[in-house]
């Protein structure tokens, strides 16, 4: 069984910064936890996950996915969109305690369209 705890700030490669908070646990009864991330730039403002369809935590990499709700800002209007989200958090250099964690996120809207992808590097906080 594996688990990950996230409370960190990130610099987003596509622009701006983000903060992520949550935990995911590979419990005997199935994956449990919650995860949320907020972005300060772009049309994607946030993604929330409260259930997980799969979790894979093999050492310094954590992968989880499941249903998600995202908030988008378009033309100064907020829109809530249901879909699915895939998140990978990887410790690039496990021997370095801080600053080597990266996050990859892909959100696919249930209504279709292009997936939203974000890649970020941790700048402060903790990922355990």
Model pLDDT for residues 63-113, shown as the tens digit of each residue: 999 999 999 998 989 999 999 999 999 876 556 655 578 999 999 999 999
Model pLDDT for residues 2-21, shown as the tens digit of each residue: 788 899 999 999 999 999 99
pLDDT at 92: 62
User: How far is it between the farthest Cα atoms of the chain?
Assistant: 45
Q: What is the mean pLDDT of residues 111-117?
A: 94
Total Cβ atoms within 10 A of residue 16? 14
Instruction: Report the C-alpha gap between 12 and 118 in whole angstroms.
Output: 7
Please give the tally of structural domains in the chain: 1
CA angle 73–78–80, rounded 5-degree value: 105
pTM: 0.89
What lies within 8 Å, CB to CB, of 40 at 6+ separation is 16, 17, 18
C-alpha dihedral over 43, 7, 1, 54, to 10 degrees? Answer: -10
Query: Where are the alpha helices (H) located in 1-128, listed in sequence order?
Result: none
Range of the domain at 88: 3-127
């Amino acid at each position: 069984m594996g688990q990950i705890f996230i409370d960190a700030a990130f610099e987003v490669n596509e622009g701006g910064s983000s903060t992520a908070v949550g935990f995911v646990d590979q419990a005997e009864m199935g994956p449990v936890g919650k995860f949320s991330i907020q972005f300060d730039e772009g049309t994607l403002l946030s993604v929330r996950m409260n259930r997980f369809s799969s979790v894979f935590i093999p050492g310094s990499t954590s992968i989880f996915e499941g249903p998600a709700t995202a908030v988008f800002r378009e033309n100064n209007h907020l829109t809530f969109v249901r879909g699915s989200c895939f998140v990978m958090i990887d410790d690039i250099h496990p021997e370095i305690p801080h600053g080597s964690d990266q996050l990859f996120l892909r959100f696919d809207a249930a209504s279709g369209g292009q997936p939203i992808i974000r890649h970020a590097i941790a700048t402060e906080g903790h990922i355990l």
